[in-house]
Amino acid sequence: MTAAAGERTRAHGWRIIAAQECRDLWLSGRGPLLLFAYAVLLSAVTYLAATNQILNFLEQRESVNLVLQIAVAVGVLLTLVVAADAISGERERGTFESLLLTPVSRGAIVLGKLVAAMSLWGAAFLVSVPYLWVLGKGVAVVGEAVALGLVIGTVLALSMAAIGLVISAVSSSNKVSLAVALFLMLALFAPTQLPAMPTSSVGDLLVRINPVTAGMHYIQLVLLKGHGWTQDLTYLISPVVAVVAAVVALAVAGPRIVRLAGGVGSG
Amino acid sequence: MPGVTLEARELSKWFGSRTAVDSVSFTAREGEVIGLLGPNGAGKTTTIRMLSTVLAPTGGEFSVAGVPSSRPADIRARIGVLPESAGYPAHQTGLEYLIYHGRLFGLSRDEARNTAVKLLGQVGLSERAQSRISTYSRGMRQRLGIARALVNDPDVVFLDEPTLGLDPAGQREILTLVRTIAEARGTTVVLSTHTLPEVEQVCSTVLILDKGKVLAAGTVADVTSTDANRQSGHLRVPPAQVARAKEVLGGVAGVSVLSDERRDVIAITATDGMNAALSAVVDAGIPVLSFQIDGARLSDAFLAMTRGSTS
């Protein structure tokens, strides 16, 4: 390998991996299938919100909020699942060793896979835009909902993708990785279904420390209560801390945990 | 004399309290095909994984093409590896797969494509270049794996059980390819295998491992001769005379009777040649229907050295 080739590997390794991972995700049919299921779910929720005898009592803003929350939650969940499969899945398919045998750094491998996982969030978000537009037609809320979904959803998706990759790297099998990721997701999202969590100080604290509930609550405050974007920024502390911590952990620990075998103590 | 391309010094690997590789040292030169032999669990794959920087050694050091083990990325740029249990992305074509790996080794898009096309031709997969890997036979996947191992024009190629699961024709194709890699490119090839005739066919030197330790190292002739004093053979006598023949052989110094492979054939080993054993049977009036000496083959030396592990 020439010096120029070595330089190219160092500079572009992550981009080459990201491009291939995206091709694998989208051309193998896995990405389109997940996106199709996501679109079906959003269609059903949007249809119910717009036509159901009970749900259509919802004010238009509430309908947009409902669909946006579901779009963000499921989009982030899909991102986490794809990230949790990224390393442990490759190990089980026997393709990971070939990747480790290239001069591309472990950090670049992780970054490439992170970008590919985030591509699913990007696509999911684009799919959700028409639904928000249909429900929000006539009230000036669509633009705000799309912007909120993009910002908060991206922060949450990035933190979950980074956590998913860490889980995938340290898990002894793909089954373990996916199970842990799904449990984490349920544990983080379950509180969003509890009614009126922030009414007590303990409830408010629980909402604030969970990045998912904090992010969702922030969306609700801006979209439903008409608060300004800067009014409740304290609710974004935990999502921002989560994304910074997860990305830093991945960057620092990545080179050590991205190895041929997962599990504690493996060489 | 060709230059040293691979040098391992006291290389060791422990997994917890289990020793997988124990102080392995050897050198290999340009164009040399070195056979890594050993029973299951001998440490062959672990040795290759350490030398290819996928596993970190617990002790010892090594260098590839003069690059020390402290620079793993630079080593990976100079080696090619066909792992034992290599998986392939089923939805990619052979051409796409090689282009991708070429790019990971720093080739430009055009360089990677040209290299991929050339290598696919060299391993006989030109006509299937545009087919998905899921449609490839096992032999074709192994050839594709070898092509991938050559995508960066490496100084050293590690092939871990490249003929595993292949039919005899497929094995022959792979071995021819291995020889070509070493001869035409001057590449050092480290070939890990269970199949001893393969080693005798293509390897210039061998390294026999057992329980992580080097039992023997050197040319095939050197390793075979280390066990030359202990010969093995098969003596065929009438079935009715087998018990008596065993009794007679048991009384000859240095001769051991092994197991009954067939009812009328007695497998024996002797430390000082077979003459005394044969004379004793003939002198006892037992008709000898056939007598065959097995010694002087690599497989005999290998089996003798690793008897405890292979039985």
Contacts made by residues B143-147, CB under 8 angstroms, sequence distance 24+: B143/B173, B143/B174, B143/B177, B144/B88, B144/B94, B144/B97, B144/B98, B144/B120, B145/B82, B145/B83, B145/B86, B145/B88, B146/B82, B146/B174, B146/B177, B146/B178, B146/B181, B147/B94, B147/B98, B147/B116, B147/B119, B147/B120, B147/B122, B147/B123
User: What is the per-residue pLDDT across B3-30, written as a single tens digit (0 to 9) for each?
Assistant: 889 999 999 999 888 899 999 999 999 9
Choose the closest CB to B106 out of A9, A24, A101: A9
Cα–Cα dist A212/B184, whole Å? 60
Choose the closest CB to B106 out of A5, A20, A95: A5
Is the pLDDT confidence value at B48 over 60?
A: yes
CA closest to B78 among chain A residues: A1
What is the identity of the amino acid at A259? Answer: R
d(CA B27, nearest CA chain A) in Å: 21
Cα–Cα dist A82/A141, whole Å? 31
Is the pLDDT confidence value at B198 over 80?
A: no
B74·A103 Cβ contact <8 A:
yes
| ipTM given for this complex | 0.85
Cα–Cα dist A31/B70, whole Å? 39
Three-class SS state of B292: strand
**Res A265: pLDDT:** 43
Token pair recorded at residue B251: 């009384």
Distance of CA B267 to the CA centre of its chain: 26
- A177-216: burial string, b at 16+ Cβ within 10 Å, e else: bbebbeebbeebbebbeeeebbeeeeeeebbbebbbbbbb
Token pair recorded at residue B197: 């005739």
Q: Which of B104, B138, B158 to mutate to test the interface with A (most CBs of A within 10 A)?
A: B104
CA–CA–CA angle B48, A21, A152 (5° rounding): 130
**Res B6: pLDDT:** 94
Write out residues 47-106 of B within 8 Å (CB-CB) of A. 49, 52, 54-56, 73-74, 76-79, 81, 83, 85-89, 91, 100-101, 103-106
**Res A267: pLDDT:** 38
Mean pLDDT, chain B, integer: 87
What is the identity of the amino acid at A105? Answer: S
Cα–Cα dist A74/A47, whole Å? 17
A1·B152 Cβ contact <8 A:
yes
What domains does chain B contain, in order, with CATH numbers? 4-88+136-223 (3.40.50.300), 231-295 (3.30.70.980)
**Res B201: pLDDT:** 79
CA closest to A4 among chain B residues: B106
Write out residues 200-259 of B within 8 Å (CB-CB) of A. none
B103: chain A residues, CB-CB within 8 Å: 16
User: What is the per-residue pLDDT across B151-164, written as a single tens digit (0 to 9) for each?
Assistant: 999 999 999 998 88
User: What is the per-residue pLDDT across B164-184, written as a single tens digit (0 to 9) for each?
Assistant: 878 888 888 888 888 888 888
Give the residue, B221 or A184, on which the prediction is more confident: A184
CB proximity list for A186: less than 8 A, separation 6 or greater: none
Cα–Cα dist B294/A219, whole Å? 82
Which residue has tokens 């994984």?
B49
- Per the document, the length of chain B is 311
Token pair recorded at residue B136: 């490839």
From the list A241, A184, A27, A31, the residue with the least C-alpha distance to A122 is A31
**Res A54: pLDDT:** 61
Q: What are phi and psi of B78, to 5 degrees?
A: -110, 5
Q: Which of B85, B91, B105 to mutate to test the interface with A (most CBs of A within 10 A)?
A: B105
Cα–Cα dist B108/B87, whole Å? 25
Is B13 an interface residue toward A (CB < 8 Å)? yes
User: What is the per-residue pLDDT across A129-141, written as a single tens digit (0 to 9) for each?
Assistant: 999 998 888 777 8
Is B148 an interface residue toward A (CB < 8 Å)? yes
Token pair recorded at residue B303: 């089996």
Q: Quickly list DSSP for A139-161.
A: STTHHHHHHHHHHHHHHHHHHHH
Three-class SS state of B231: strand
What is the identity of the amino acid at B42? Answer: A
Three-class SS state of B51: helix
Contact assessment for residue A258 and residue A106, using Cβ atoms and an 8 Å cutoff: yes
Three-class SS state of B246: helix
- Where are any strands of DSSP class E within B30-155? 33-37, 59-64, 67-68, 79-82
Give the residue, B224 or B120, on which the prediction is more confident: B120
Q: What is the mean pLDDT of residues B110-118?
A: 95
CA–CA–CA angle B122, B166, B171 (5° rounding): 55
Give the residue, B227 or A166, on which the prediction is more confident: A166
Contacts made by residues B111-119, CB under 8 angstroms, sequence distance 24+: B112/B151, B115/B151, B116/B147, B116/B151, B119/B147, B119/B150, B119/B151
Predicted confidence pLDDT, tens digits, chain A (267 residues): 666 666 777 778 899 999 999 999 998 889 999 999 999 999 999 988 888 656 556 678 888 998 999 999 999 999 999 999 999 999 999 999 999 999 999 999 999 999 999 999 999 999 999 999 988 887 778 899 999 999 999 999 999 999 999 999 999 899 999 999 999 988 988 877 766 555 677 778 888 999 999 999 999 999 888 888 888 899 999 999 999 999 999 888 887 888 887 654 443
From the list B177, B187, B189, the residue with the least C-alpha distance to B147 is B177
Q: How many CA atoms lie within 13 A of B204 on its CB side?
A: 14
Distances from the Cα of A181 to the Cαs of A122, A215, A256, in angstroms? Answer: 20, 19, 20
**Res A266: pLDDT:** 42
Choose the closest CB to B77 out of A1, A27, A95: A1
CA closest to B85 among chain A residues: A94
**Res B219: pLDDT:** 86
Is the pLDDT confidence value at B204 over 60?
A: yes
Contact assessment for residue B53 and residue B59, using Cβ atoms and an 8 Å cutoff: no
CA closest to B92 among chain A residues: A24
**Res A262: pLDDT:** 65
Cα–Cα dist B64/A146, whole Å? 55
Distances from the Cα of B84 to the Cαs of B24, B142, B164, in angstroms? Answer: 20, 10, 8
Q: What pTM, to 2 d.p., does this model score?
A: 0.81
**Res A2: pLDDT:** 67
- The secondary structure of residue B43, as a DSSP letter, is S
B104·A17 Cβ contact <8 A:
yes
Is the pLDDT confidence value at B105 over 50?
A: yes
